[in-house]
Amino acid sequence: MVQDIDIADLKRITELVYTKYGYDFRNYAMSSFKRRMLRILELKNLNVESLLKKINEQPAFINEFLDELTVNVTEMFRDPGFWRIIRDEIIPGILLNHKQFKIWHAGCSSGEEVLSMAILLKEMGIESDVTLYATDLDVNILEKAKQGVYPAKNMELNEKNYVRFEGKKSLKEYYREENGKAIFHRELLQNVTFRKHDLVKGEIFNKFDLILCRNVMIYFNQTLQNEVLKKFHESLFKYGYLAIGSKESLIWCDIANRFLVVNNEEKVYKKIKD
């Protein structure tokens, strides 16, 4: 097992992935990136040289690599207080101006937050008025998100979160259990467009009233956080909302003054300047 990996080797890996495949991890936060690399080396039983060789010679390996590299740990209704604010304050605020609107889940991972949003909208009775876009860099995880099928053992935590969110029903009413899997009702995801999108290099593809990007930018360094925030700013309508993770902050970013803090505890911001 490789115990440690030095920065020079990490740079060799990111440079190769960038020049060969165009994925840019050069501005990822070093501490977590290093742990992900050590994890890949251990899981695939490789050392730095054999990993480089594999990336270079086996193009099919890149999706597997991205899948392990990106962090795909998420929950439904993570931070229930956040979801209550979305339901009780943010969405009613959007509805004052538009009956129909668009939400972007940037870095949606396995889709638990997309599904949470779909359930929230259904319980508000406005599911057909809202279009959801869910994007991720990792095509394997995007495929999982589209399925809406999760290990049944995760449901205890998800149900607990849902109860604290004060949902109208029981989470059980939205899925059926089969062979240790929780299979969510297909119609929940019918207004969701899933697509591959790279936050680092990707284009602005639409305009939104609400963008959720929770616990994604924590894996970026501040240079990249700044760049991505500019993209979110551009992708939001004026007075649109941006939600980030509870331990993320915009205050260090160059364009922080173009946003207003709507809820500091749950980190919801509003675009107030173009």
Partner 1 sequence: MDKYNLNNTYKAVVIGGSAGSFQGIVKILAQLPKNFPLPIIMCLHRLKHVRNGFVEALSLKSTLQVVEPFDKESIKKGIVYLAPSNYHMSIELGNHFAMSTEEMVNNSRPAIDITLGTAGYVYRDKLIGILLSGANRDGGLGMKHIKDKGGLTIVQEPTECMIDTMPKAALALTKIDHVLKIDQIVDFLKELEKHYK
Tell me the sheet residues that pair with 268.
Answer: 243, 263
Q: Hey, which residues between 94 and 113 contact partner 1 (CB under 8 A)? A: none
27 scored as a contact of partner 1 (CB under 8 A): no
How many C-beta atoms lie closer than 10 Å to residue 68's C-beta?
17
35 scored as a contact of partner 1 (CB under 8 A): yes
Q: Which CB atom, from 131 or from 221, has the smaller least distance to partner 1?
A: 221
The amino acid at residue 125 is G
Q: Which of 160, 181, 185, 230 binds partner 1 (CB under 8 A)?
A: 160
CA atoms in the 13 A half-sphere facing the CB of 137: 22
Q: Which of 25, 162, 165, 219 binds partner 1 (CB under 8 A)?
A: 219
67 scored as a contact of partner 1 (CB under 8 A): no
Q: Which of 52, 124, 183, 218 binds partner 1 (CB under 8 A)?
A: 218
Q: Which of 29, 126, 256, 262 binds partner 1 (CB under 8 A)?
A: 29
Q: Are 144 and 110 in contact (CB under 8 A)?
A: yes
Tokens of 164: 């604290």
The residues, any chain, with a CB within 8 Å of residue 8's CB and separated by 6 or more, are none
Q: Are 258 and 233 in contact (CB under 8 A)?
A: yes
How many C-beta atoms lie closer than 10 Å to residue 270's C-beta?
18
31 scored as a contact of partner 1 (CB under 8 A): yes
73 scored as a contact of partner 1 (CB under 8 A): yes
Q: How far apart are CA 138 and CA 65, in angstroms?
A: 9
32 scored as a contact of partner 1 (CB under 8 A): yes
226 scored as a contact of partner 1 (CB under 8 A): no
Tell me the sheet residues that pair with 151.
Answer: 181
Q: Which of 228, 245, 269, 271 binds partner 1 (CB under 8 A)?
A: 245
Tell me the sheet residues that pair with 25.
Answer: none
10 Å CB burial of residue 63 (0-12, 13-18, 19+) is middle
Stretch that binds partner 1, among 124-132, 190-198, 221-229, 231-239 (CB under 8 A): 221-229
Min. distance of Cβ 35 from partner 1 in angstroms? Answer: 7
Q: Which CB atom, from 29 or from 95, has the smaller least distance to partner 1?
A: 29
140 scored as a contact of partner 1 (CB under 8 A): no
Handedness of CA 230, 232, 238, 241 (dihedral sign): negative
Stretch that binds partner 1, among 44-52, 123-131, 204-212, 220-228 (CB under 8 A): 220-228
Q: Which residues bind partner 1 (CB under 8 A)?
A: 29-32, 35-36, 71, 73-74, 78-79, 160-161, 164, 215, 217-219, 221-222, 225, 245-249, 252
